Amino acid sequence: MNILAADIGGTSIKIALVDEQGNITRTQEVPSEGKRGGPQVMKNLKAALDTYEGYEAIGISSAGQVDSEKGMIRYANENIPGYTGMKIREILEERYHVPVKVENDVNAAALGEARFGAGKNYRDFLCVTLGTGVGGGIFIGHELYKGADGIAGELGHLTLYPRGNRCGCGRLGCYEQYASTKALVQVAQGVDPSISSGRDLFRRIENGNPRLKEVLESWLVDVALGLSSLIHIFNPEALILGGGVLDRPGLLEDIEKKVRENLMASFQGVVLQKAALGNHAGLMGAASLHLPSEGAEA
């Protein structure tokens, strides 16, 4: 079975054909033009999907809160204006005449890791992505936990500091305001406004800038505080961390050290592991929406 998978973000749309074994072919990436609004994103998506054939279903991973039962966007922020309420499944099924399933991008990444990546050997795990924000997927008993309204896993909105920085959600002190890569770079820019990215920051730390090293250490503490709280709540077998920042050598080990310093002794058995699928996690998860669960076999 071949599945046409797409991963929709505010900046780009990744597309590929994926088979049941997780083999990816015919990949492409096109601009989503999210700032121009949801209708433009859908126009760009359909133009790219039109170039494919030889598939039996379509799986969509998308930014925003997704109602997967209805295949639509429940809520999207200002990164894609006019995207809230977009009936993705209905639009694509009318055009392509194949089954379409839609899932939130971080949930899709967790599904990909569960079936094809770092989570495939675990019944219970958390998948946490450190990027522009902090996203999360929760697996319990081989199943993605979605909550009463299908929107569980907003781990980035755990309150870290009750009187802290205002978040885009309107609340104060959310975890992603301190533990995201974006937050790290913003604090570093307060020390040196010329810093352009996380990669730039790490390069300057390696060149011996002590003030920037202090910024990184503070960020590591905040990351670890949130992760240790999640471990105490969910008691997972494993915590799988994703995001480009984890490509920095030794960073996962630094995070794990600080996490374990914050864990009660009875929770020390948790495994901290880097996500395995990288930029393909969302595509693999989108494809897995059409594949039978492997939980009974594990």
Mean pLDDT of the chain: 93
- pLDDT of residue 149 exceeding 90: no
Evaluate the CA torsion angle 187, 192, 194, 195 in order and state its sign: negative
Over residues 63-116, the pLDDT tens digits come to: 888 999 999 999 988 889 999 999 999 999 999 999 999 999 989 999 999 999
pLDDT at 189: 95
236: tokens are 């997972």
Residues contacting 88, CB < 8 A, separation 6+: 42, 60, 62, 71, 72, 73, 100, 102
pTM of the model as a whole:
0.86
107: tokens are 């949930």
Q: pLDDT band at 294, cuts 50/70/90?
A: low
Q: pLDDT band at 298, cuts 50/70/90?
A: very low
Task: Classify 261 as helix, strand or coil.
Answer: helix
Q: Average the pLDDT over 54-63 and give the result.
A: 95
Residue type, position 7, single letter? D
Assign domain 123-275 to a CATH class. alpha beta
Q: Average the pLDDT over 9-34 and give the result.
A: 92
The secondary structure of residue 155, as a DSSP letter, is G
Task: Classify 165 as helix, strand or coil.
Answer: coil
> CATH 3.30.420.40 occupies which residues in the chain?
2-109+280-288, 123-275
45: tokens are 């998506």
- pLDDT of residue 295 exceeding 60: no
Q: For a pLDDT cut of 70, what percent of the chain falls above it?
A: 98
CATH of segment(s) 2-109+280-288: 3.30.420.40
Beta-carbon neighbour count of residue 182 at 10 Å?
A: 16
Question: How distant, in Å, are the alpha carbons of 74, 95, 156, 274 from that of 129?
Answer: 21, 33, 9, 10
